[in-house]
Structure 1
Amino acid sequence: MATTSRRSLLTLALAAPFGVGALAACGDSGPGQAAGSSGGGDGATIWILTGQPAEGIRTDSVKAFNKANPDSELTLSSFQNDAFKSKIRTAIGANQGPTIIWTWGGGGLRNYVEASQVEDLTSFFSENADLKSKLFESAFGAATVDDKIYAVPCENVSPIVMFYNKTLFAKVGKDIPTTWEEVMALLPVFNAAGIAPFSLGGQSRWTNMMWLEFLFDRIGGAELFQSIYEGKPDAWSQPAAIEALTKVQDLVKADGFIKGFASITADSNADQALLYTGKAAMMLHGAWTYSSMKTDGGDFVSKGNLAWSTFPTVEGGAGDPSNTVGNPSSYYALSSKASDADKTAAKKFFAEGLVTDATAKAWVEAGSVPIVNGSDSMFAGSEDEEWLQFVYDTASGAKTFQQSWDQALSPTEAETLLDNIEKLFGLAITPEEFAANMNAALGS
């Protein structure tokens, strides 16, 4: 894939760990074995996730920084995603974590903040205003806890996008929908033609979540989920929330999704294959799927059979049409337990080595959009220019860019959410029961 996948931001184990010369600790090493941990050692450390092309870009940025700053070198260690998630919490709890902490922001970052494990970077950004102004403003929401910035946004952006198979739309003589009402009207048309309206890898659960994220926004506005994130009593049972939950079940009951969607996995890219092989007309998915469809779908993308748009509007809804959801950025936090010297080295890397012209160019060449204002100037001449510009405009122009809920919420609340989403899509619970179950988990 040409960009860091959604699964690399949640549960999918990535490619095997790699070595970066003498700098790297292998991905199977224990958390206390990485040189220069925050509990003391030989210098500042940084842990990254494996998986190309992101792994190579991250590694190159550290190598370039070390070459330019021999007195502030970072020791790099790489880990598979699942291994990282278990090791990082253990290591931080034992004061043996890295100086620079990879984080997905949101609820996980809030946990670090509440445990006083990460440094407040608000003053750092005041002193480095040029860096802050360089990055998409929308990327800072998931890095902010109680109005203070605790992580540096970096790398690329992946909003959730509505994809369409243009050949199938031509077959039934219909236009791409722009409203929810038009979406619902298309369901019987495609079903009558023997085509599934929507592909969905429902076994993965987080794929179902994307539907709720957008419907909550389009109906209730960004404030609806914000009230949930803040743990306000009965936030899940607000009228706009119940309406969104009901619309999801309306979609299921109208055979909006391919039959057997609950047994289809996203990790295998089976849901994407349904779109490019003509078995489904539409798909709501992350921007990262563009590159994999381009790679795996034969000439589906190159021949112009793929179309895309933002999520349709809902009549009477309060959400701003520019609002989007997904992954606003990747993030690095700074260990509050690190020595002053290691903190200084880390901040120097944040300011000079993490977001550079070279890294921005590398992300574009990998088919991704870096979270750098003006990076669209690098798109000219790319065969993916139209797509890259769409992603850039969506992310940079969003009034609100809501982070994926399973990262924005606490791990406990997120798991409860995914369990209940599975039941909601399976019609095993009503919208009211879903809301009651989630209200009971607020703040957990």
Structure 2
Amino acid sequence: MKFLRLRTAGTALTAGALALSLAACGSSGPAGGSVSADSASMWGLTGGNQASLQNSVDAWNSAHSDQSIKVEFFANDAYKTKVRTAIGAGQGPTFIYGWGGGVLKSYVDSGQVEDLSGFLEKNPQVRDRYLPAVLKNGEIDGKAYAIPNNNAQPVVLYYNKEVFEKVGAQPPKTWDELMALVPKFKAAGFAPFSLAGQSKWPNLMWLEYLVERIGGPEVFANIAANKPNAWSDPAVTEALTKIQELVDAGGFINGFSSIAADSSADQALLYTGKAAMILQGGWIYQGMKKDAGNFVSSGKLGFTSFPTVSGGKGDPGNVVGNPSNFWSLSAKATDAQKEAALNYIKDGMFTEKNTQDLIDSGAVPVVKGIESKLEASPDKDFLTFAYGLAKDAPTFTMSWDQALSPAQGDAMLSNLDQIFLKKVTPQQFVDTMNATVEK
């Protein structure tokens, strides 16, 4: 398996003066745990991995009252805004939750995160716990600045088996088959695809996979390398055109631009039978397992790989998504906070219980030697499928909005939103994005 490591020229973060007032949804530690203003701080995401992370921190605090950690949780979109502003102002948490790529590089370039290479050299047991290709995604210029903290998250095409049975359909293996299903589902009163367009980043999965299937992983590798006019690759224009053809055909649920991923409304449309399919990350399996357990456990949820495109250059086994999420360590933390953080990374993460908690939640931990645990899980069908996608992929391309610099990622999501809304043409998108390439 080859994970595509994407690097861009970094840009220094700038922070607005306006402080964000975002409500956290987590706890500061367990009963009996000593958490103070001097404790190491950690910000995580609500949703799939929240419980396993909270359990891990609670267990750590109970056993290490002198090196406690205060954890808070935020919804995905709110977190991305909050953490960028806080880090830009030099006020980020001790543990910085991230995805790697260009965003991580921007932190490195602005001196906001610690070089963890020496820590890994002194603690080979930490380095050796991970799938090597995943660990590599925390490196910038050969140095480690981020360490994987949860699960592999390939983007998956999910479908509602009951809806498919009512229409007499099979999951699409090709783009032509996918387009042919659209009128069938519409005629039967089902939206072909759910989409959380308000959040913008779910739109990106369509572009990522189409560009990969049409042109192969080299297309985005050139974009991420800031090669002049890299966005002008014909695969990008063809992918954007296919997206707009799908929009024109009524492929997405009415009102998709007002649906938010943070509320899991896009997932609900699938498991309540209003939509036949959804293209989303491996992480939403955890959400559906929690919110629609009967739908998942009864075998009504189907999942498959993204279809091939006729004449495309991309390997059908290639995937896009998140190799993992990562912890970086704030360079602004106190020595005591850094020590507590490194000790937690060494001894508090991926314990037997933490690893099993992740698996029980419906996630695939990014550590070695878990095949038997996955096989023993009631979710083994999905877990082994997702693990196989990640492990066997010739190329696993990191989510573009994280692989690019923050400025480029923001511009891409905004302009892709306009593509889905049919407010710009593919050529206008290409021209706009070529102008963001750093000279």
TM over 0.5: yes
Partner of 2:27: 18
Q: Does 1:78 pair with 2:72? A: yes
**Range moving further from structure 2, 346-355 or 364-373:** 346-355
Does the 8 Å contact 1:18/1:50 carry over to 2? no
Distance (Å, rounded) in 2 between the aligned partners of 1:415 and 1:433 = 16
Q: Does 1:35 pair with 2:38? A: yes
User: Which consecutive unaligned segments of at least 5 residues does structure 2 have?
Assistant: 1-19
| DSSP-derived class of the 1:371 partner | coil
Query: How well do the aligned residues superpose, as a CA RMSD in angstroms?
Result: 3.0
1:135 to 119, 130, 135: 130
**Range moving further from structure 2, 209-218 or 275-284:** 275-284
Residue-by-residue CA offset, 1:83-131 (whole Å, 9 max, x unaligned): 7656655665565555443333222211111012222233443444443
Does the 8 Å contact 1:218/1:319 carry over to 2? yes
Cα gap change, 1:256 to 1:338, in 2 (>3 Å) = closer
2:112 to 106, 112, 117: 117
Cα gap change, 1:191 to 1:404, in 2 (>3 Å) = same
Cα drift, residue 339 of structure 1: 6.2
Partner of 1:327: 322
Partner of 2:352: 357
Residue-by-residue CA offset, 1:108-162 (whole Å, 9 max, x unaligned): 2111110122222334434444433422334235422233321111112222110
| DSSP-derived class of the 2:46 partner | coil
User: Which consecutive unaligned segments of at least 5 residues does structure 1 have?
Assistant: 1-10, 26-33, 37-44
TM-score, length of structure 1 as denominator length: 0.83
1:430 to 419, 425, 430: 425
Residue-by-residue CA offset, 1:53-90 (whole Å, 9 max, x unaligned): 6344334434545666677x244343535776566556
| DSSP-derived class of the 2:173 partner | coil
Distance (Å, rounded) in 1 between the aligned partners of 2:113 and 2:397 = 23
Task: State percent identity of aligned pairs.
Answer: 47
Q: Does 1:309 pair with 2:304? A: yes
Partner of 1:51: 46
| DSSP-derived class of the 2:208 partner | helix
Does the 8 Å contact 2:47/2:287 carry over to 1? no
Cα drift, residue 338 of structure 1: 5.2
Distance (Å, rounded) in 1 between the aligned partners of 2:151 and 2:168 = 36
Cα drift, residue 400 of structure 1: 2.5
Partner of 1:233: 228
Partner of 1:31: none
Cα drift, residue 256 of structure 1: 1.8
TM-score, length of structure 2 as denominator length: 0.84
Does the 8 Å contact 2:35/2:68 carry over to 1? no
Distance (Å, rounded) in 1 between the aligned partners of 2:393 and 2:23 = 30
| DSSP-derived class of the 1:215 partner | helix
**Range moving further from structure 2, 354-363 or 295-304:** 295-304
Q: What is the 5 A alignment of 1:370-385? A: 370-385=365-380
Does the 8 Å contact 2:57/2:71 carry over to 1? no
Residue-by-residue CA offset, 1:261-314 (whole Å, 9 max, x unaligned): 223333333322322233322211122222333444474333322210111122
Cα gap change, 1:131 to 1:322, in 2 (>3 Å) = farther
| DSSP-derived class of the 1:369 partner | coil
Partner of 1:408: 403
Distance (Å, rounded) in 1 between the aligned partners of 2:365 and 2:224 = 27
Q: Does 1:347 pair with 2:347? A: no
1:281 to 269, 276, 281: 276
Q: Does 1:102 pair with 2:112? A: no
Cα gap change, 1:193 to 1:59, in 2 (>3 Å) = closer
Cα drift, residue 174 of structure 1: 2.7
Does the 8 Å contact 1:219/1:319 carry over to 2? yes
The total of aligned residue pairs comes to 416
| DSSP-derived class of the 2:177 partner | helix
Distance (Å, rounded) in 2 between the aligned partners of 1:270 and 1:164 = 15
Distance (Å, rounded) in 1 between the aligned partners of 2:301 and 2:377 = 17
Distance (Å, rounded) in 1 between the aligned partners of 2:78 and 2:173 = 42
